Amino acid sequence: MTRHFNTETFRGDYTYHNSPEAIRRFPFPFDQDTYTYSVNIAPHPGGPTGSTFEFAFDVDEHYVSEMQDRAITLAEDPNRCQSLPHMELAGWDLLELIMVSKARDYPDLFTLNRDGDQWHWINRPLGIEQRFTFLDPATLPYGPLEYITRQTQGDFALLHERDRNLWLDAGMITSQADWSLDFDVGMNFFEWHAPVPKARQMGVFDKALKFLLAVEQQQAYRRLNWTMTVNPRLDTSPENYHKWGPEKRSITPQNVGQKQFLRVELQTFWRLPRSNALAFPIRCYLCCLEDLCTNPEWARRLHLVLRDIDPVLADYKGFAVNQKTIVEYLAGFSCV
């Protein structure tokens, strides 16, 4: 299988783009014409050949450019990757999970040779070859969490379990929907999610925590979450809000199709074998309205969902100021 990796940017001139194949496999998150919070969890991986659910860690045409964008963000702000001292073992667990999965699922791109604790990793798309001793951090250029997540699309939170709660004690967060790892690291599940409106009162977090605490070894699950982002920007961090905030107000009826993106998070949950921590990868997919509307059923459904959404959620998801323009654009694709 030949693979193509886009040369594209997620800031500045924003040359990010989706091929027809990437649009076809975009994980459209709505299964009905209305939206409300739900836990919507399914086993992972597992899905049709070529879908974003097929493999444990999907590698797509944006891989190389996304990793370059992460490197830029980390160079400006190294605190986007943090690990409290007791989380290093969980970092090794995650490194193993990702290397084993990618070498199995994409043998043309990744190779992992293991001889006891002597490991040999080859990442062809990024041109990396590394020999190291598993569990010996001195043999890698970064800590295990940072090393592997500089080579894997999506944000990563590592959750430590104690006192029947989950604590956000490590993470690599450079493509977040406006939350700060540096501020939230060390928080428990309820503190970390406290700014999300309405959900706690609806019992969503109690249910989600109960589910996550029950995840066992060898089981993994996924859910989809979504928000809206102006321009294909991965780094919508609160740290840089004063830099990207003005772009949110740049939407016009003329440019909304190209500049307004549906941002979908493929969230997966994995129990890690040595540390018993939970890995919580948050993979971000971006697709502009114009590309989404090449699929008439998506155009029709997205129009209804965004038109009728609870105003509090429109505000929380950050598109209330552009809602009217977005809905009018989408209405043009709907045959009533």
Q: Is residue 164 near other proteins by the rule CB under 8 A? A: no
On the question of a cis peptide bond just before residue 45, with omega within 30 degrees of 0, the verdict is yes
Judged by CB under 8 A, the residue of 12, 127, 246, 311 near other proteins is: 246
Q: Which of residues 12, 214, 249, 252 is near other proteins by CB under 8 A?
A: 249
- Please choose, from the candidates 186, 133, 193, the residue with its C-alpha nearest in 3D space to the C-alpha of residue 160: 186
| Among positions 24, 124, 200, 324, the unique one binding other proteins when judged by CB under 8 A | 200
**Per-residue burial over 283-293, b = 16 or more CB atoms within 10 Å of its CB, e = otherwise:** bbbbbbbbbbb
Return d(Cα 45, Cα 119) in angstroms, integer.
25
In whole angstroms, the minimum distance from the beta carbon of 186 to other proteins comes to: 4
Q: Which two tokens stand for residue 76?
A: 């400006």
Stretch near other proteins under the rule CB under 8 A, chosen from 151-159, 181-189, 206-214, 282-290: 181-189
Least Å distance between CB 318 and other proteins? 10
Nearer to other proteins, 61 or 182 (CB): 182
- Total residues contacting other proteins by CB under 8 A comes to 25
Asked if 162 is an active-site residue, the reply is no
Per-residue HEC secondary structure of 293-317 comes to CCCHHHHHHHHHHHHHCCHHHHHHC
Contact 221, 269 (CB under 8 A): yes
Q: Which of 223, 263, 283, 300 is catalytic?
A: 223
Q: Is 265 in the site for other proteins (CB under 8 A)?
A: no
- Name the segment binding other proteins (CB under 8 A); options: 16-24, 67-75, 101-109, 235-243: 235-243
d(CA 90, CA 148): 12
CB of residue 134 to other proteins, shortest distance in Å: 29
Rule CB under 8 A: is residue 190 a binding residue for other proteins?
yes
Q: Which of 47, 137, 186, 273 binds other proteins (CB under 8 A)?
A: 186
Q: What is the DSSP string of 128-163?
A: EEEEEETT-GGGSSS-HHHHHHTTSSSEEEEEEEET
Cβ-based neighbours of 145, under 8 Å, separated by 6 or more:
81, 83, 87, 88, 90, 91, 94, 95, 156, 158, 170, 171, 172
Report the residue number, 81 or 97, with the smaller CB distance to other proteins: 81
Reduced to 3 states (helix: H, G, I; strand: E, B; else coil), residue 243 is helix
Q: In the bound complex, what is the minimum distance in angstroms from residue 123's beta carbon to other proteins?
A: 33
Do residues 269 and 278 make contact, with C-beta atoms less than 8 angstroms apart? Answer: yes
Integer Cα distance of 196 and 147 in angstroms: 31
Which residue, 149 or 322, has its beta carbon nearer to other proteins?
322
Give all strands of the β-sheet with 165-172 in edge-to-edge order. Answer: 42-43, 220-230, 260-271, 278-288, 155-162, 165-172, 81-83
Pick the piece of the chain touching other proteins (CB under 8 A) from 37-45, 92-100, 143-151, 232-240. Answer: 232-240
Residues in region 25-54 near other proteins by CB under 8 A: none
* Residue choice 219, 321, 328, 332 for contact with other proteins (CB under 8 A): 321
Nearer to other proteins, 126 or 196 (CB): 196
> Hey, is 195 helix, strand or coil?
coil
Q: Is residue 240 at the binding interface for other proteins, with CB under 8 A as the rule?
A: yes
Catalytic residues: 223
Site for other proteins, rule CB under 8 A: 79, 180, 182-187, 190-195, 200, 238-242, 245-246, 248-249, 321
